[in-house]
């Protein structure tokens, strides 16, 4: 049962061949076995999983029709609000915080069989899950390496079979890069495709919730479950949600695919480049037209991102002040209480970005930094618009490297930031992007990134399915 895809498992639950309870038990056993080595979870929730699975089985027994994703155990990044289950964001400041409401994306799953709240870089800031206040997660492919970040816990949980799939969040690549490093599929939908209600904000204008799955079909299925307009999130799109599964096997005949030149040169490991080139050839062989695409302002994307995201962080993290929930360090006077609570509650990376963002927004520097970064963002959007007038799908590596060693980049924030160089532009432009395993380099998985125009998830999934099939890469539980 542990080797089935989520889609297959859901089918067996719906037909009664496997009960949701059996699946939840299998997942919980797997969590118990793998956690000491992988540490993918901040809070495993075996009782909750069993209770919810029990309800799914009861409903089925009563003759109720189950949604095609129900009963499949899921790991949830600890940045998504879960009613009554502590939600820490990987931070000390929320160590004991239990939300009073459920995130929309989770509520849409009906009776989500949550096996645990997955580890993450504090407030989703990082590319290695080493910034978690609860200790790092290890890559199931090589326990001495990082799983990527910030959804590293979610990615490792899926790779280790601790759940059939997971939800992550992607602000600058945090679904795709860990998916790439852990050999699974990670999809960042179009900004607005999935409600952010209940997603504890990192950078509101960039954040998006995305499926992290064993294969492309599972990604399509999970996206169908969570996509759609939410009246509680006014930035969520009211565009109709297509049937992603139905479109999946239409192939790529006639699809125009552009390889992004600016993401294939310096800084990209040769082994990674080879896998991407192989993916391009396989798309061509399947009937796509492959050409060369350009994003001329790509080189400024990282700089713009590291102004805009911290600016929003400095504001979004202001609510963690010890007044209403979470941690409080008592002190004489309210400002001293704020200061000590935040001083002790936040880790180094959170503090670094709060300071950066505060500076970038302060009067006198706003124009030079924040306003300028927004102009760059507009240029990058225009770059994509031009590229999508020629191509349906853009192709690149997801991450410039395979999984690196734990501790290797901790002392060098800029080297860490460079991990997101291929993934950030999609967030700045709000377009969908998917990472699909394309093969191995040095025995470690390499992710191939496909980007599409706004709301073109169905097209991306078709192309990703083609790459997946041609790569010969099959999901295999590790370690």
Partner 1 sequence: MEVKEREAYQAVIGLEFHAHIATRTKMFCGCRVSYGDPPNTHTCPVCLGHPGALPVANERAVELGVMAGLAMGCEVAPRAVFARKNYFYPDLPKGYQISQYEEPICTGGHIDVPTSSGTVRVRIRRLHLEEDTAKNVHVGTSGRMHGSTASLIDFNRSGTPLMEIVTEPDIPSAEAARETALRLRDILRAVGASEADMEKGQLRCEANVSIRNPDGSLGTRTELKNINSFRFMERAIERELRRQREIVASGGTVRQTTIHYDPEDDEVYETRSKEYAEDYRYFPEPDLLPLQLSEEWVEGLRARLPELPEAMRARFIEQYGLSEEAAGVLTAERELAAYYEEVASQVDPRQAANWISGDLRALLNESGLSISECKILPGHMAELIGLVQSGDLSRSAAKEVLERSFETGERPQEIVEREGLGTVGGDELSGIVERVISSNPEEARRVREGDRKVVGFLIGQVMRETRGNADGGKVREILMEKLGS
Q: Could you list the residues that contact partner 1 (CB under 8 A)? A: 80-81, 87, 89, 94, 97, 99-101, 103, 196-201, 203-205, 231-235, 311-312, 314-315, 317-321, 323-325, 334-335, 338, 358, 361-363, 366, 370
Residue 435 annotated among the catalytic residues of the structure: no
Q: What is the 3-state secondary structure (H, E, C) of 184-239?
A: CEEEECCCCCECCCCECCCCCCCCEEEEEECCHHHHHHHHHHHECCCCCCCCCCCC
Residue tagged active-site, from 5, 127, 150, 236: 150
The 10 Å Cβ neighbour count of residue 4 is 17
Residue tagged active-site, from 19, 174, 236, 423: 174
Q: What are phi and psi of 162, to 5 degrees?
A: -80, 0
Residue tagged active-site, from 5, 19, 28, 77: 77
Q: Which is nearer to partner 1, 261 or 358 (CB)?
A: 358
* Token pair 């160089």 in the structure block, residue: 421
Least distance to partner 1 from the beta carbon of 362, Å? 5
Q: Which is nearer to partner 1, 172 or 400 (CB)?
A: 172
Task: For the sheet with 208-213, list strands across it.
Answer: 41-44, 114-118, 74-77, 165-170, 208-213, 185-188, 433-441, 444-452, 393-397, 256-260, 289-293
List all residues 6 or more positions away from 42 whose beta carbon is below 8 Å from its beta carbon: 78, 88, 90, 116, 117, 118, 119, 120, 132, 134, 153
List all residues 6 or more positions away from 234 whose beta carbon is below 8 Å from its beta carbon: none
Q: Which is nearer to partner 1, 276 or 373 (CB)?
A: 373
Phi-psi region of 203 (alpha: psi -120 to 50; beta: other; left: phi over 0): beta
Quote the CA–CA distance of 183 and 213 in Å, as a whole number.
Answer: 10
Quote the CA–CA distance of 236 and 142 in Å, as a whole number.
Answer: 38
Strands 165-170 and 74-77: parallel
DSSP 169: E
Q: Which is nearer to partner 1, 148 or 310 (CB)?
A: 310
Least distance to partner 1 from the beta carbon of 286, Å? 39
Asked if 78 and 119 count as a contact pair (C-beta separation under 8 A), the reply is yes
Least distance to partner 1 from the beta carbon of 335, Å? 7
Least distance to partner 1 from the beta carbon of 190, Å? 15
Q: Which is nearer to partner 1, 365 or 418 (CB)?
A: 365
Task: Pull the structure tokens for residue 342.
Answer: 């935040």
Least distance to partner 1 from the beta carbon of 301, Å? 18
Q: Which is nearer to partner 1, 87 or 129 (CB)?
A: 87
Question: How far is CA 64 from its chain centroid?
Answer: 32
Q: Which is nearer to partner 1, 406 or 431 (CB)?
A: 431
Task: Pull the structure tokens for residue 130.
Answer: 């080493």
Asked if 35 and 479 count as a contact pair (C-beta separation under 8 A), the reply is no
Residue 471 annotated among the catalytic residues of the structure: no
Task: Pull the structure tokens for residue 178.
Answer: 């860990």
Least distance to partner 1 from the beta carbon of 176, Å? 21
Residue 174 annotated among the catalytic residues of the structure: yes
Mind telling me the catalytic residues? Answer: 77, 150, 174
């Amino acid at each position: 049962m542990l080797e089935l895809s989520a889609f297959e498992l859901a089918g067996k639950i719906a037909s009664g061949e496997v009960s949701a309870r059996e699946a939840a038990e299998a997942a919980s056993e797997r969590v118990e076995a793998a956690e000491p080595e992988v540490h993918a979870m901040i809070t495993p929730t075996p009782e909750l999983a069993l209770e919810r699975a029990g309800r799914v089985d009861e409903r089925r027994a009563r003759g109720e029709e189950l949604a095609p994703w129900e009963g499949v155990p899921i790991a949830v990044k600890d940045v998504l609000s879960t009613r009554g289950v502590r939600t820490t964001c990987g931070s000390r400041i929320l160590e004991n915080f239990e939300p009073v409401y459920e995130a929309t994306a989770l509520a849409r799953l009906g009776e989500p069989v949550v096996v645990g709240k997955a580890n993450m870089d504090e407030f989703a800031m990082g590319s290695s899950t080493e910034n978690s206040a609860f200790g790092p997660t290890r890559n199931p492919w090589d326990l001495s390496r990082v799983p990527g970040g910030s959804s590293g816990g979610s990615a490792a949980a899926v790779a280790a079979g601790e759940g059939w799939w997971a939800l992550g969040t992607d602000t600058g690549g945090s679904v795709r890069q860990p998916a790439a490093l852990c050999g699974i599929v990670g999809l960042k939908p179009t900004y607005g495709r999935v409600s952010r209600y209940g997603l504890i904000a990192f950078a509101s204008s960039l954040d998006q919730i995305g499926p992290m799955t064993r294969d492309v079909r599972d990604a399509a299925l999970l996206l169908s479950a969570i996509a759609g307009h939410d009246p509680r999130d006014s930035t969520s799109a009211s565009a109709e949600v297509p049937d992603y599964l139905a479109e999946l096997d239409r192939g790529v005949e006639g699809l125009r695919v552009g390889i992004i030149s600016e993401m294939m040169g310096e800084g990209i490991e040769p082994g990674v480049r080879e896998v991407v080139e192989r993916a391009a050839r396989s798309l061509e062989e399947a009937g796509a037209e492959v050409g060369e695409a350009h994003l001329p302002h790509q080189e400024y994307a990282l700089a713009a991102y590291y102004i805009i995201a911290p600016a929003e962080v400095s504001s979004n993290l202001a609510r963690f002040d010890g007044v209403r929930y979470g941690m409080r360090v008592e002190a004489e006077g309210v400002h001293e209480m704020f200061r000590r609570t935040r001083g002790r509650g936040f880790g180094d990376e959170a503090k670094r970005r709060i300071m950066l963002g505060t500076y970038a927004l302060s009067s006198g520097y706003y124009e030079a930094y924040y306003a300028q970064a927004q102009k760059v963002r507009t240029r990058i959007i225009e770059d994509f618009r031009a590229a999508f007038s020629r191509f349906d799908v853009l192709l690149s590596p997801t991450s410039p490297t395979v999984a690196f060693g734990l501790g290797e980049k901790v002392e060098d924030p800029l080297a860490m930031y460079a991990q997101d160089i291929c993934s950030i532009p999609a967030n700045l432009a709000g377009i969908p992007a998917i990472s699909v395993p394309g093969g191995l380099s040095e025995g470690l998985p390499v992710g191939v990134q496909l980007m599409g125009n706004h709301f073109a998830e169905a097209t991306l999934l078709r192309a990703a399915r083609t790459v997946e099939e041609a790569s010969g890469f099959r999901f295999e539980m590790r370690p």
